[in-house]
Chain A
Amino acid sequence: MSEEKQDKPAAPSKEFDRRAFFVKLGLGSLSIAATGTAVFAYQFLSPNVLYEPSPIVNAGKPEGYPEDSVTLDVNSGIYLIHTKEGFFALSAICTHLGCMTAWKPELGIIACPCHGSKFNRDGEKIAGPAPRPLPWLRTWVSDDGDLMVDRSTDIRPMQFVRV
């Protein structure tokens, strides 16, 4: 290559540079367009507004939950549990692959029908493939005296709500 350049006069070498420039320009524009297309596609496929139910659930009056009871609300996927220490809410969604668990009163455990994970009433794992305990969800009492649960906010276990 270098030998050829030396032999030839200046003009063809300039022309080669111009061609190389346009090739680079073309490839550069194509890669910018390709990146732009990928970004555009990703943004288009990610919805900006979701018509999904609110993560905050009104669980009703605390009087509806007698002491020592576990109540599953299948629509919101939470357990409202009333113990001696107070109220707390537990996610009913199995931490393994997202199935809805069920409370087994005769055994006193929460069990997942899909792959056999078992949890105790406090959400701790007893058996099965679930990698984590069932999360405790932020729970408070509204101004109207209703129990409120925020499904999108996990809290540390053993934080009871006393009414």
Chain B
Amino acid sequence: MAKTIANYFDELRTTRAWRSVFRSGTGSSTLHRALAVQQNIFLHLFSTKVRRRMVSFSTTWYLGTLTFGTFLILVITGILLMLYYHPSVPQAYADAKDLQFVVSSGLFLRNLHRWSAHAMVFLVFAHMFKVFYRGAYRPPREFNWVIGVILLLITLLLSYTGYLLPWDQLAFWAITVGSNIASAVPVVGNRVHFLMLGGNQVNANALLRFYVLHCVILPLAATLFVAVHFWRIRKDGGLYSHQTEPKTIAAPAAPAQTASTKDRQ
């Protein structure tokens, strides 16, 4: 009988090279499947075990996952765009035009970056509304809501800093207006404005500062907080589902909650 693809995979899993990378062993027992998650650096942030209902579409509408998906698209397309973009006053606008009209697939990548950015802002808000209206921000998840608010701010700052980079009229005046709003802050406003732009007007220093923020500092901060955000889902008792929550209103909260939290981890 001919071998199926599954057979080939089973064979691959028994090889020494495979075993040196994935040490959880072979087999489809609950233990092996749990170990495969627990011993993987990326997956170990998540619970080893979830109820089927929790990963169904209706529980979360996958809004958080979709947000993370757009973030990944933005990182990949952003890195590719960086290969052709110089953050300098004489070149920035010309490079943006080159990406549109000269570079192969440049138009596609630039548009993908732009539309994913819009989608990410939309999805972050949708995710937060969903969490808010389902009450999933309530204890013990209140700290993860705080991290979510930080991630919202980082998302908006990423959008704002990215807006300047094409260096066209829209970018220039949007950042002029936006940075002047910062100088309306009492006492320190003008200093904040000066630090933000690295000068008194939107110029070469401002372009470079916004570029570094957009391409290095803010994405690193976002990555860090996303990791904590995912990890806290497990630590706070898994994804929120109304049906599985302890009845905090009917009974005293503390003992019931700890018991169910242990169950789910």
Contact = CB atoms under 8 A, between A and B. Distances in A.
B205 A47 contact: yes
A98 B178 CA distance: 9
A46 B194 contact: yes
Interface string B160-188: 00000000000001001101110000000
A52 B201 contact: yes
B201 A46 contact: no
A45 B194 CA distance: 9
A45 to B, nearest CB: 5
A46 B177 contact: no
B80 to A, nearest CB: 30
B177 to A, nearest CB: 4
A46 B195 CA distance: 6
A45 B195 contact: yes
Size class of A's contact patch? 10 to 19
Interface residues of B, number: 15
Contacts, number: 31
Nearest to A113: B173
Contacts of A51: 203-204
B204 A47 contact: no
Contacts of B244: none
A52 to B, nearest CB: 6
A97 B200 contact: no
Given A99-B173, A99-B176, A50 B200 contact: yes
Contacts of B204: 51
A50 B200 CA distance: 9
Nearest to A96: B180
Contacts of A99: 173, 176-177
A96 B204 CA distance: 23
Interface in A48-63: 50-52
Contact of A97 (B180, B195, B198, B205): B180
Interface string A25-47: 00000000000000000100111
A98 B180 contact: yes
Contacts of B203: 51-52
B173 A114 contact: yes
B199 interface: yes
B160 to A, nearest CB: 15
* Residue among A50, A51, A99 with most chain B CB within 10 A: A50
Interface of B: 173, 176-177, 179-181, 194-195, 198-201, 203-205
Given A46-B194, A50-B205, A96-B180, 18 more contacts: A42-B195, A46-B195, A47-B198, A47-B205, A50-B199, A51-B203, A51-B204, A52-B199, A52-B201, A97-B176, A97-B177, A97-B180, A97-B181, A98-B176, A99-B173, A99-B176, A114-B173, A114-B177
